[in-house]
């Protein structure tokens, strides 16, 4: 597996990003086009409304599954980083840090973690700035 860094840490799920999303988009666009054409030709019908509804209802579970997984993962990362900070300093992680900042901080090694937390609080670093300031990258190959 290629060593992870700021340049390549984004993770793609091929089935999600390159199959499900494009096919869902094409299905939705195709359904809307079909519905408009049929509406102009025959006027309103219940089956057109049901068709659009079924397509939308078919897409929503996939989106929700992704959102739920990412939300849970973000909560776990926050807990892990709070524990890591406590283990390194004996103090709790400052509540001013946003979830996005904490998630970005997870890539820093233990050696630079506390210093980068302090710097983030002082300078209000964005997640991208935090990641760019990581000197020793701590890879996360398990991101959803």
Please report the DSSP string for 68-112 in residue order: HHHHHHHHHHHHHHHHHHHHHHSSPPPTTS-HHHHHHHTTB-HHH
Residue 20 is assigned to a structural domain of this protein: yes
The tally of domains found in the chain comes to 1
* Residue 66 C-alpha from the chain's centroid: 8
> Residue 8: its pLDDT value, please?
65
Residue 44 is assigned to a structural domain of this protein: yes
Residue 66 is assigned to a structural domain of this protein: yes
Between 4 and 75, whose confidence is greater?
75
Domain hosting 66: range is 14-73
Residue 134 is assigned to a structural domain of this protein: no
Task: Indicate the angle between helix axes 21-42 and 46-89, nearest 10 degrees.
Answer: 160
Residue 110 is assigned to a structural domain of this protein: no
- For range 42-68, the mean pLDDT: 94
Residue 59 is assigned to a structural domain of this protein: yes
pTM over 0.95: no
Total H helices, total E strands in the chain: 6, 0
Structural contact between residues 114 and 88, judged by C-beta atoms closer than 8 angstroms: yes
Euclidean distance between CA atoms 94 and 106, whole angstroms: 15
């Amino acid at each position: 597996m290629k060593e992870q860094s700021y340049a390549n840490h984004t993770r793609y799920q091929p089935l999600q990003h390159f199959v499900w999303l494009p096919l869902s988009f094409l299905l939705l666009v195709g359904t809307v086009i079909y519905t408009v054409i049929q509406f102009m030709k025959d006027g309103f019908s219940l089956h057109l409304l049901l068709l659009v509804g079924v397509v939308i209802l078919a897409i929503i579970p996939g989106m929700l599954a992704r959102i739920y997984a990412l939300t849970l993962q973000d909560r776990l990362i926050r807990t892990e980083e709070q524990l890591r900070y406590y283990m390194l300093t004996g103090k709790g992680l400052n509540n001013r840090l946003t979830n996005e900042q904490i998630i970005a901080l997870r890539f820093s090694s233990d050696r630079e973690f506390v210093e980068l937390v302090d710097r983030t609080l002082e300078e209000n670093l964005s997640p991208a700035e935090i990641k760019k300031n990581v000197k020793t990258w701590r890879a996360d190959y398990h991101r959803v």
